[in-house]
Amino acid sequence: MYQRIGAAAMKKDLRNITTLCEALGNPHQQFKSIHIAGTNGKGSTAHMLSAILQTDGLKTGLYTSPHYRDFRERIKIDGQYVTEQFVVDFVEKNKPLFERIQPSFFEITVAMAFQYFAESKVDIALIETGLGGRLDSTNILSPILSIITNISYDHQQFLGDTLPKIATEKAGIIKPNIPLVISERQEEVAHIFEKIAAERHAPIYFATDFFHIKEKEIALTGNVYEICPLLTPPAPKGESARISLGRANSPLGAGGMKSYILPTDLYGNYQSKNLVGVLLSEKILNEEKIISNEQSKFEALKQVKSLSNFIGRWQVISEKPLTICDSGHNMAGISQVVNQLATLAYQRLGIVIGMVSDKDHEKVIKLLPKDAIYYIAKPNIPRGMDAEKLKDKFVQAGLDARAYASVRDALAVAQEQAHEKDLVFVGGSIFVVGEIIPHSQG
CA angle, 370 as apex, 369 and 371 as ends, to 5°?
95
Indicate whether 188 pLDDT > 70: yes
Neighbours of 324 (CB within 10 A): 21
φ, ψ dihedrals at 175, nearest 5°: -110, 150
Residue pair 39/151 in contact (Cβ under 8 Å)? The answer is yes
Q: What confidence category does residue 249 fall into, taking pLDDT thresholds of 50, 70 and 90?
A: very low
d(CA 266, CA 348): 25
The burial class, CB within 10 Å (0-12 / 13-18 / 19+), for 93 is exposed
Which has more confidence, 97 or 232? Answer: 97
pLDDT at position 413:
98
Looking at residue 343, the DSSP 8-state letter turns out to be T
Residue pair 293/246 in contact (Cβ under 8 Å)? The answer is no
Indicate whether 9 pLDDT > 60: no
How many CA atoms within 13 Å lie on the side-chain side of 248? 0
DSSP secondary structure of 375-441: EE---SSTTBPPHHHHHHHHHHTT-EEEE-SSHHHHHHHHHHH--TT-EEEEESSHHHHHHHSPPP-
d(CA 442, CA 274): 24
Which has more confidence, 414 or 250? Answer: 414
Domains (range + CATH), the chain: 2-308 (3.40.1190.10), 315-436 (3.90.190.20)
- Considering just the CA atoms, what is the radius of gyration of the chain in Å? 21
Q: Which of 244-248, 270-274, 351-355, 370-374 has the lowest mean pLDDT?
A: 244-248
Q: Which amino acid is at 296?
A: S
Terminal Cα-to-Cα distance of the chain (whole angstroms): 23
φ, ψ dihedrals at 115, nearest 5°: -65, -40
Helix, coil or strand: residue 162 = coil
Residue pair 197/236 in contact (Cβ under 8 Å)? The answer is no
Q: Which of 47-61, 174-188, 356-370, 394-408 has the lowest mean pLDDT?
A: 356-370
Nearest to 309 by CA among 262, 373, 375, 265: 265
pLDDT at position 270:
84
Omega cis (within 30) before 321: yes
Which has more confidence, 132 or 10? Answer: 132
Average pLDDT over residues 410-438: 95
Residue pair 41/270 in contact (Cβ under 8 Å)? The answer is yes
Nearest to 130 by CA among 109, 160, 145: 109
